Structure formats: structure tokens, C-alpha cells
Structure 1
């Protein structure tokens, strides 16, 4: 994963950055730095800036990395010898204890620069219980002149002992006006963006780059075919399991919320295509409620070693089971 520290921090992160710059100036940056926030608010960019500033040898008065020293050039090129990264071996899987042990050994190596070493863990919520316990020992007794950055969407999913040994940096979402100004600078039309999208501009940008709209249309068609018994659940789940997990979960959450809204006779701002809209009218909200809980459970299982195809099959089958006509009204 390459660093994006050369990118300019968006306006909604300015106040948080001023606090970090103040902490650097007063030498009050903790060894463990927990960067959290909803997906799409730009916390990776913020963490990139933190890492670059910690490693830079010629920081500005505002605490920013200079961008031109040897260390900064290596950070930008993702070749800095004093950066160690810890990520799942496969996307969506847990980080294993053996990975943490190897990561810790690298942190204890003598740094090439006098600015020390930086460890990067993402997504931190995917540390397995044994991996988290192994990391806890390092956070309690960190190597000298070393900082460990943990990036997470779900800070509550981390062990309390991990959270308590880290300095928390919560990246806020932008206001709607700030988001629109940012999108305009990116030459993105904001006319079709809802309130959730405006709060997560980096997620919108990422989805556009990864053809989220095209994938959503294909998943909508597949879901409609499954419900109408025109396509086999197992084959649909097999295809969905090969798609990007984060995008699929985002689509599932949005469709679940829209299905429930229509089932409750609220069709304002619905994003459902016509075929799913017709199906939604046949859903009983009381029968749909347990399925919404299963959608949340599927998101939790995405970060485990559960069979992802079977998880998707269960979600699809249970939605079919929830499908029934509304009770007759008197």
C-alpha cells in the first residue's frame, strides 16, 4: 500500500491536524496512535500525513512533512526502510498472530534514520484475538523511538486493552458544504449525492474508481433473479463472493435500508431499481427486521475466517424467506 502523504489534507481535517502538530511540537505523540472514523472520511490520508511528519527530518512550523528530504521522498515512493506494514494476507481475512510476531521483530531492528521506525496496521479491527494479545505486549513495552499507527473503521471492535494503550485520533466527517467544495475541486458533480455520500467523500471517490455503479447494477439484477426463482442461490453467491467484499457490503447495507423504507411505505429518495421496488412492496417490515440483523452479522463475519460464500448464501436465502405479502388491512 503506497503512501499518499503528498495529498493535501481536506478542510474538515484541519483542526485535528493542528492538535497533532501541537503534540509533535511538545513531544507528546504516543507510541500507539489509533486513527479511527467512518469509512470514506479520509482517515488513511490523515494517517499518511502523521507517518510522513514523524519520519521527516525537516518538518515545517505547522508540523507538516517537508516533502523534499530523503526520508520524505522514500515515504512518497513507498520505499522507506523504517516503515513496517501489517495487513491481512488476503483481503477481508483476519491478521494472524504469526504476522504480528514478524511485524514486532521488524520494529526492533535498528532504524536507518534517526527519526525512528513507524509501524502501520490496517484494518486494526481484523486482528485475531491471539494477534491482538501479541500486539498488546508491544504496545505496553514498545521499542525505543518507534510509533505504531492503527487504522480502523470500527474502534469498538478492538480489545479495550488495545484502545487504552493508544492515543485516539478520531477523524470527523465533513459538513455537507465542505464536502461539496471538496467534490467541486475534484470536478465531481454532487447533484446526485445523498447525505450519506456527502459525509463520506473518499468512499464516493473510491467507488467511482472501482465501477461501483456497474457492480451494483449486476448485483441488483442477480438479487431480483434469485427472489423470482430465475437463478440459483448457490451460483449467485459464488459470483458475489469473488467480488470486492467492502463494495458488496456497502451495496447490501444500502439495499437493506431501501427495502425496509419501502416496506414501511417511505419511498422518498429510494435508490431501488424498478424490479426490486416491486419486490419491496411485498415485504412485511416485521418479517424483514430479523434479516436486517443478519445483514449486520454478515458484515462482522467478513473480517473472520468464515466461509464467505456460505455467508452470502444465507443472506440471500433468508431474504427470500422474509418475502411475503403484507397482511390484509381491514
Structure 2
């Protein structure tokens, strides 16, 4: 995780969970393996980094917060703390390899520079290959004295049961919509027209704004409308989609599939224009329900090592086949 101002780590919908964590910190009962889980956009990395800050601080406050002033806190904030070891994929979207785990485990056994011990950061933990996860098990079972390993995961179910069983799991909750609206408003984000479901992941909304997501979504909607009208090649549509940020694209795909289904049932969707709605009605409920199963598979594949280009192509090719079938059927 990139170092950010410690004040930005404190999110209002985390506070109840953090109170439980602070009790463990005060009693020195934080497990050596901590798995921080949660859906994308709820701020689990901020929660995890808040924990790392507390574990490496010499002068914790009564509520378990790092002081921000001791030498360890200053080095951590500067990104130069010698007792933090990170384990992340070498390339975005790729697996964490067994050789990386071996180097990581070796680093954790080195003598720490500070008396607070060493901390290992694994992100995302569900990127561990099977051999890498098995290699990590020994370190989780017999961690060095004073060492804590913090794992981050969007998909706990993707982790080996043996990894999960050796960790204390902390699930970061989604935000309450009212809380999220207030928090976003303080960051110049107008959330008045955002649905409650989206508000449960406030950081995802901010990330989309920063990525000019509205422009991307507009292009994807146009491509989808052209595909439904048989005016686009599915491979060409996939070519423009697969290089996008995966979570953003998968979220769009999932929501549009749901919108298409609602349109076939006669429901009005504020995010679906006329062309898409008409295309949905031509397809019909049966075909869109069949396609939705493929969309769900794609969402599950996004965090794996599958060939992403082929995955994206397959979802559009399947849709185009349903479109052709609907068009050719009297």
C-alpha cells in the first residue's frame, strides 16, 4: 500500500471494528497472521495499514492509534521503515510466485531494527499461486518472534483453507449509505444521485472519479449498444475493454447485465439509454439470464491468472451469439 497521511486511514464506518482491534492491541493479543477482508471499495487496505502503523509504533494512544511522532512512525510514513516486508505480484494481475514467498519469508526472519518487530504485508493474498500459498504456510505456522503478517483479500474464498485457518480474519464492513454520503460530500463528491448499493463502497466511487470513469463507461455503453444492434464485432469491442482497470470494468459489466435484465421485465433503469433498453427487449429474459451466468463467471475470474483478453472476448462473443439467435428467430 502506498503511504498516505495517517488521518486518511480513519474511516467512519471502520470505527466499531477498530475498537475491537484496539482492545487486542492493548492486550498484545493480535494474531501473528491477520487476514483483512472485504469487498472492493470499503477501505480494507486503509484499515490494514492502520493496523500496521499501530504494530510498529512505540507510543500507542489509548485508542490503539499510532502516535505518528516516534522514529518508527516517521520512517513508516516516509516509506522507509526497515522492518516492513512486502509480498505483491511482480506484474499487475499476475500470481505471486513461490520464489517471491521464499524471499519474503527470509526477510521476516532477519533481526528487526526496532523493538516493535517485523511486519509482512501480502496484497492481494488471493494472488498467491497454490505452490506459493503452500510455501507460506510454514511461516504462518511458525512465525519469527515479534512478527506479524497482514494479508489483504477481496475474495477470502479464493484462499486455501489452510491459509485461512492460520489467520485471524477481520472483515471490514461496507459503509452505511448515509455515512458514505456525508464522507463523500466532505471530499467534494456529490453523491445525491448515487444509489445506496454503490454508496456501500465509497472508495470505489472516488477511484472512478479519479480515473475519469464516466468517460470510460460512456464508451463501453456505446460499444454494448452497437453489439446489441449487430453493428459491432465482439472481438473489437473486447479489444477496447480488456486493457481497462479490471474492477471498474467488471463492475460496469455486472451492473449493465442487471440493467438489461430489468429492461426485459419492463422496469425503467435510469442508467440505461433507449438503445440498450431496446436491445435488451429484443434479446428477451431467457437469453439475458443465460448471459448473466457468464458475466458472473467473468467476475470470479477477474482476480485469477486466466488469460484476461480471452475472458473479455468470450463474454462479448457469447452475447453476440445470443443477439444473432434473437434476430434470426421469427
Normalised by the length of structure 1, the TM-score is: 0.94
Q: What's 2:153 paired with?
A: 152
Q: Does the CA-based 8 Å contact 1:59-1:65 persist in structure 2?
A: yes
Corresponding residue for residue 35 of structure 2: 34
Report if the CA contact (8 A) 2:235-2:317 is conserved. no
Aligned equivalent of 2:208: 207
1:310 corresponds in structure 2 to 310
Root-mean-square deviation (CA, aligned residues, Å) is: 1.8
Distance 1:306 1:105, change over 3 A: same
Matched with 1:21 is: 22
Report the counterpart of residue 117 of structure 1 in structure 2: 118
- Secondary structure of 1:314's partner? helix
| Mapping of residues 97-246 of structure 1, within 5 Å | 97-246=98-247
CA contact (8 A) 1:284 1:325 kept: no
Q: In 1, are the aligned partners of 2:229 and 2:279 still within 8 Å (CA)?
A: no
Residue 72 of structure 1, CA deviation: 1.1
Q: In structure 1, how many angstroms separate the alpha carbons of the residues matched to 2:313 and 2:24?
A: 49
For the 8 Å contact 1:87–1:95, the answer to whether it is kept is: yes
Give the structure 1 partner of residue 73 of structure 2: 72
**1:156-182 Cα deviation digits (max 9, x unpaired):** 221111111111111111212211221
Name 1:320's counterpart in structure 2.
320
* Stretch deviating more after TM superposition (64-73 or 302-311): 302-311
**Where in structure 2 are there 5+ consecutive unaligned residues?**
none
Going from structure 1 to structure 2, the CA distance change for 1:12 and 1:246 (only over 3 Å counts) comes to same
Distance 2:92 2:252 in 1: 18
* Aligned: 1:61 with 2:62: yes
Q: Is 24-33 or 100-109 further displaced after alignment?
A: 100-109
Aligned-residue offset at 1:229: 3.4
Deviations along 1:173-214, one digit per CA (max 9) or x if unpaired, are 121221122122222212110011111111111111111111
Alignment of 1:235-314 (within 5 A): 235-267=236-268, 269-314=269-314
Deviation at 1:325, TM superposition (A): 6.5
Contact 1:6 1:76 in 2 (8 A): no
Per-residue CA deviations over 1:90-148 (Å, capped at 9, x if unaligned) read 22222222221121111111111111111111111121111111111211111111111
Normalised TM-score (structure 2)? 0.94
SS of alignment partner, residue 35 of structure 1: strand
Aligned length, in residue pairs: 327
- Residue 153 of structure 1 and its aligned partner are, at CA, apart by 1.2
Q: Tell me the distance in 1 between the aligned counterparts of 2:239 and 2:64.
A: 48
For 1:120 and 1:197, the matched residues in 2 are separated by 28
Partners of 1:98 and 1:296 lie apart in 2 by: 32
In structure 2, C-alpha distance between the alignment counterparts of 1:125 and 1:208, rounded to whole Å: 26
